[in-house]
Structure 1
Amino acid sequence: MKYKNIFGMEFDLKKIFLLTSLLIFPNILAIFHFSLFGLRIHFFQYLIFLAAFIFGPVGGVLSGGVGSLYTAVALGNPYIAIGNVILGGFAGLFMKKIGIMPSVMLAYTVQLPWLWLTDVYLAGMSIKHVNMIVIALLVSNLICGAAVKLTARRIKRLFFDVR
């Protein structure tokens, strides 16, 4: 059985499984990171960008929001989830028009004022700490965007009837 919806596509069980995975697994990937020159590099953005590529802005918004719940709760910073909603939504909005890497960087640029203002003024973090987060997210987004560029079309072919 197939359904039309806000994504503008028909859904079957494979697509529902993929979307559900892209909503849940960013929470798990957020647990893992590595340090590079004192920066914490994360990979959960890969799944947000992949959701944006496959399901468009709505997929990016859902993956960014639902996929950030663990981090937002664990760090006591609900603004993280909203920032990732912005990141995923704008990546999905731009993705079909300007390509993966420009979309990732443009979405990051749109997210940046939200991240900086909420972390400094609402979460009470120091400017120095927030600036380190900004740099770490830039590096993480570049790595994750490049990974999506390398893998997204193959993954989409596994779940969609795309030639």
Structure 2
Amino acid sequence: MEFDHLGAKLANVSRLLGSGAHPDRIDAEIARCEIVCVNCHRRRTAVRGSHRRAAPRWWETPPPPGRSRARNLAIAYSTLELAGCRECGNHDLCVLDFDHVDGKTANVTELARRGCSEQRLRDEIARCVVRCANCHRRRTAAVAGYHRSKGDQA
């Protein structure tokens, strides 16, 4: 779950918590938020920011500058959208991630944005499966050993 700011964002709630901010300051920032799942937060943020990923026909929106960046992002977005989440089948481009299962050497989206070679990008994508942000978080938590099963009590 994440804090989604509904109005002006004055601070990042997680950073306030991590920095030992006064509880009143933390409470005031939380009051500006709605708690939503990761997928909903990603979608809302993308729509509010008019992100390319949020466009129903993203491929018709202006590509980023640079031919290699445009090519790479088209490859990455197409791969995500066509595959959908391996766990739940979600095909919403705004919420899909590359989840490394075979030795991460780089972040796929960052590689694409930096304009790496097409082969380098495809090699990194081959190390991944596609998962939505919710399923990606659940899997990461389970693999790390801090995931509570549905039967556990808080």
Q: TM-score range by the shorter chain?
A: under 0.3
Pick the structure with more strand per residue: 2
TM-score by length of 1: 0.27
Query: Is the radius of gyration larger for structure 1 or structure 2?
Result: 2
Pick the structure with more helix per residue: 1
